[in-house]
Chain A
């Protein structure tokens, strides 16, 4: 089999996911043996007409973004959303909660319509997404898993259990017990419980699990003296779009 042609694209984002992907210095040269990087604007001048796998970072937040992502979808066989901005709108979507006109006026004054802007959307709101790598920044273990599977022609596995599970496996001291407001019980695993492993609470950067145990969660929050409203607010940090639409935790 010839090496798959891989391309990377960035939309509205901090480019942290792209950077994170360059952080496997020890494996980087080996990886280059397995794939052929044909387009990657931040690192190279070349462009290509077609790709086997396109990795997309960032959310869709302007009319130009919409056009570009359509063009990429037409050229690629597989499309992978890289990081929470691309998967759910990520931190960019926090602005969706505010009146757009007012926000623009505050920043640009009379020139508010100089730079077209849309609500920050996930890539899947506009074109079909085949696979996702979650996290802000995208979780390194999951990225390597998806990349390897695709290169080998396999279907990557999708995680849908809570960060708590990974955290217990690592035998970390629970940060909830230390008085921190941790979202680990409702956040999707796949990061190896990175934040609690460093003494910090989970901010929910990989988004909620699809099946939240509502009653259990509410009990657990209450037991630690935290409110459901506050939990929702914190979860919105990286997941405003998800929290608005599909998920309701009942008595807010």
Chain B
């Protein structure tokens, strides 16, 4: 059986940043099936060196607008670890609410605005404004709610303002938090349940495909790890964050201006599906219920189900935000000043889960609090090798479906990973020469 197939999707749409899908099959032999990353590199390392600890989070935030809160959190935690800055419980809780807001904003945007059009056979969300107005409105309300969290606690959702090493420049008022909670209860929960129902009705459109891989995420004993935790991999168990370089093992491939990564196998997966597979037991019950309703059971080996796992996380994040606000209001909000008295200088390593997966920042400061060395490892970069491996398994399996259907499934596959290409070409990971 000899077959030829050549696919070249130039600048795939509905993903963040620029990538091309390239498939080349001759006489039934698959020579190439890969995602080319063609975004120009941005060289953040050149920007970090010589900058003070006040500026680290402001700069790394600009690696990516969608993940800006996550970059700030990882950056602040790395700085705080390096300088020995303790933060209060209140700061931790406020940050966790912000992480929830950013996670559910991004997950809603991806699942309902970028991925859903594929399930309904349209090219964008805009036609759905006419045909599926209710769900578009619910999705917009959810997005607005996530932005409200960002606006109230951090000044704005894209490149937040109030987060600084050691705390916040402004603490929200109790009234503001109470209003936020009411919106989450009265509007957020019904909207997300409605959106999940809609997704359920479309579940038949999610391609059937399986490829078991290594799943890597943060892990905590006490909660579904997003803000903090150790590293956990489905192959080798728990590792402290300090070991991250042994896990990510970045390498250069010619078809991508972003580096690839691998650990126990030739690739691994990070993001909502990895978090779900590793930590599902710690989800809040309403989120577990939605997972069951949507047919998501751990372990799940279908990368297309990442979109479903994202929806499950939206439920979890809303429920957990409500809990956290309750705790803050019960304890009473204190007008705390950020703790900016360094007790040491040196290296600090931190991780946090951003919507697309586990993120690492690693800085070394000199005695003046100036950055000497910085390294930052991004989820999308970690997923790229896994996307290529999925393509190589998928293409031969669906080769009889015709070029158009194959192209669509490949685009859907890349979209399911919700790649963030701006992030992946940040190129922060260099050793500075003194």
Contacts and interface: CB of A to CB of B under 8 A. Distances in A.
Contacts of B47: 91, 94-95
A130 interface: no
A20 B65 contact: yes
Interface stretch (A69-77, A148-156, A198-206, A213-221): A198-206
Contacts of B252: 108-109, 111
Contacts of B17: 10, 15
Contacts of A15: 16-17, 64-66, 422
A29 B45 contact: no
A139 B143 CA distance: 19
A12 B422 CA distance: 8
Interface stretch (B151-159, B206-214, B234-242, B277-285): B151-159
Contacts of B123: 44-46
Nearest to A90: B62
A107 B158 contact: no
Interface string A60-95: 011011000000000000000000000000111011
B279 to A, nearest CB: 27
Contacts, number: 161
Interface string B143-173: 1100100000011111101101000111000
Interface string B191-208: 000000000000000000
A237 interface: yes
Contacts of B158: 16, 19-20, 23, 137
Contacts of B154: 198
A168 B156 CA distance: 21
Contacts of A116: 40
B404 to A, nearest CB: 13
Most chain A beta-carbon neighbours within 10 Å: one of B144, B161, B168: B161
Contacts of B141: 25
Contacts of A235: none
B65 A14 contact: yes
Contact of A117 (B40, B65, B162): B40
Contact of B63 (A14, A94, A103, A237): A14
Nearest to A114: B254
A160 interface: no
Interface in A1-50: 10, 12-20, 22-23, 25-26, 28-29, 32, 37, 40-46
Contacts of B38: 64
B86 to A, nearest CB: 21
Contact of B62 (A16, A22, A42): A16
A46 B124 contact: yes
A45 B124 contact: yes
A43 B45 contact: no
Contact of A23 (B42, B157, B168, B433): B157
B134 to A, nearest CB: 13
Contacts of A212: none
A194 interface: yes
Contact of A103 (B46, B109, B170): B46
Interface in A101-123: 103-104, 106-109, 111, 114-117
Interface residues of A, number: 58
A194 B155 CA distance: 8
A133 interface: no
A16 B162 contact: no
B58 interface: yes
A19 B65 contact: yes
Nearest to B148: A25
B119 interface: no
A107 B109 CA distance: 32
B91 interface: no
A105 to B, nearest CB: 9
B65 A198 contact: no
Contact of A107 (B15, B43, B143): B43
Given A25-B147, A107-B45, A91 B161 contact: no
A244 interface: no
Interface string B116-147: 00000001111001000000000011011001
Contacts of A16: 62, 64-66, 68, 158-159
B40 A61 contact: yes
Given A32-B126, A95-B43, A195-B161, A115 B59 contact: no
Contacts of A106: 45, 430-431, 433
Nearest to A46: B123
Nearest to B151: A23
B216 interface: no
B125 A200 contact: no
A167 interface: no
A5 B119 CA distance: 27
A56 interface: no
Contacts of A12: 39-40, 42
Contact of B143 (A25, A64, A234): A25
12 contacts: A15-B422, A17-B65, A25-B144, A43-B13, A44-B126, A61-B40, A106-B433, A107-B429, A114-B254, A115-B41, A198-B155, A200-B162
Shortest 4 CB-CB contacts between residues of A and residues of B: A16-B65, A44-B124, A45-B123, A199-B169
Interface of B: 11, 13-17, 38-43, 45-47, 55, 58-59, 62-66, 68, 109, 113-114, 123-126, 129, 140-141, 143-144, 147, 154-159, 161-162, 164, 168-170, 252, 254, 257, 422, 427, 429-431, 433
Given A43-B126, A46-B124, 4 more contacts: A22-B109, A91-B59, A103-B430, A137-B65
